[in-house]
Structure 1
């Protein structure tokens, strides 16, 4: 039995689908979700849906019964991830899980990004747990930017504070496929995979790609870090999250989100999704 946490989320759903694409029968996949009603379509397709709240240890113990392999999709609740992940790891250990794959952050152990802290704490907990595990250190999602491309076109600008830092982005589907490969093939326990897109772009190059695909002028506007935070908060983002985004740009300016090893495309057996293809799909 394969269990995917956060299976109602965008990455979790894609991992469930990728496991099926790799030949895993639906009745051997457990979609662990906080709200089962949100994944009725998965249940209708024969996926085993179990209620599992990262904060509710009793629900986790029940959800992990009979499970052999787990994909721990990192919690979306920044600031709460470490204790939530500990609950997952404890449940996996109690269940005698044979392999746990964790979606961490690219080069997290060397990263100065604020987001790295909770990932590093989780990696340390896994190392201490005794559970066989594999780290899937993901770079940025293409969707982080293609999802806001229309807004960039509307305003004619992409804002940020990343300088000439390069983002080696891949699609959620690429990262999901990597997780499914690790789950369905052997020899991954103890491995650390630094996963990133084959193509790396600066935000100026991203803006140029948006302009080309949408046929409208779009430029990159570099801002000081705190001015970028101010703009993001004025757009309605919580200040804490705005700080994280700006800090991530600063990290990118220092190479935190760049990797040219092509480990991801090697793992999945084909090139990762290109920026322009992702933008065209978003436009369509």
Structure 2
């Protein structure tokens, strides 16, 4: 019998892509969301949708999770995400979940950055919970180029804070979703494992070349510096999150191992080749 899977944090980038992938694969998938009325897209994809989010009281959340075998906790983009995720882990333990998969980041143990301070206690709690677990450490996304879609369409240019020659790892959302779907349906070989998923290792200048080839016109990268990037990102997200992202870019500038180590974890999990920037832009070229 197929395991009953529930995803908490189902409406974000990673959560929704994972739910849709599981639904496409005919898994027994339930999307836990804060407001089911805003999750019609997941229903249309074939998932069951219920009200279940990390902000519920631990006992209430545990009573919901007790109906499922495997749990995916997509750590939310919320300033209190540490406590929200800890609550979900503790509820999973109370519910005797058979397997729990949690999203983290490559520099999870770096207490010198905001995101590291947020994720360190999450990983510590998970590993000491007694639950059979998996950790998916996700770097910055290939898909972040969507934020530059208008600039590419109108100026043939995309922007960022760092020198264009600095190489760094990224992961495609669709790759993260597929890897999670594979693990959640059959976690036997993924017990107490930590994976760092990477799809590409390239510089912004190299990405400009990939986009040029995919779009058939010259695309260039321009470093606008940190302050200009911050002001641009503040249009889409809160300041704490922007500051955290800029700290990741500073790690890239310093060529920190957390941002420059390419792994084969995606292929090990799925048996497939990852979605590079070149492949991604070919796939979505009509939008640019």
User: Given the two structures, how large is their TM-score scaled by the length of structure 1?
Assistant: 0.86
**C-alpha distance after superposition, 1:71-126 (max 9, x if no partner):** 1111121x211111011112111110111111111242258543232122210111
After superposition, the CA RMSD in angstroms is 2.5
Judged with a 3 Å threshold, the aligned counterparts in structure 2 of structure 1 residues 2 and 236 are, in CA distance, closer, same or farther, namely: closer
Residue in structure 2 matched with residue 103 of structure 1 by the alignment: 103
1:204-243 equivalences under 5 Å are 204-226=205-227, 228-230=229-231, 232-233=233-234, 238-243=238-243
User: Are 2:24 and 2:45, in contact at CA under 8 Å, matched by a contact in 1?
Assistant: no
Tell me how far apart the structure 1 counterparts of residues 236 and 19 of structure 2 sit (CA, whole Å): 33
Structure 2: gaps of 5 or more residues? none
Q: What's 1:17 paired with?
A: 20
User: How big is the shift at 1:196?
Assistant: 0.6
Equivalent pairs, count: 278
Match of 1:283? 285
Distance 2:63 2:85 in 1: 16
Counterpart Cα distance in 2 of 1:219 and 1:201: 15
Inter-CA distance 111–188: structure 2 relative to 1 (3 Å threshold): farther
Residue 4 of structure 1 and its aligned partner are, at CA, apart by 0.7
Match for residue 51 of structure 1?
51
User: Could you tell which deviates more after superposition, 254-263 or 41-50?
Assistant: 41-50
Q: What is the CA-CA distance between 1:202 and the residue it aligns to?
A: 0.7
Structure 1 equivalent of residue 275 of structure 2: 273
Task: Please report how far the alpha carbon of residue 237 of structure 1 lies from its aligned counterpart in structure 2 after TM superposition.
Answer: 5.5
- Describe the SS at the equivalent of 1:90: helix
Q: C-alpha displacement at 1:258, in angstroms?
A: 2.5
TM superposition score normalised by structure 2:
0.85
Q: 1:82: which partner in 2? A: 82
* Cα gap change, 1:229 to 1:261, in 2 (>3 Å): same
Change over 3 Å in CA distance of 1:111–1:141 after alignment to 2: farther
The separation in 2 between residues aligned to 1:101 and 1:76, in whole angstroms, is 17
Equivalent position of 1:114 in the other structure: 114
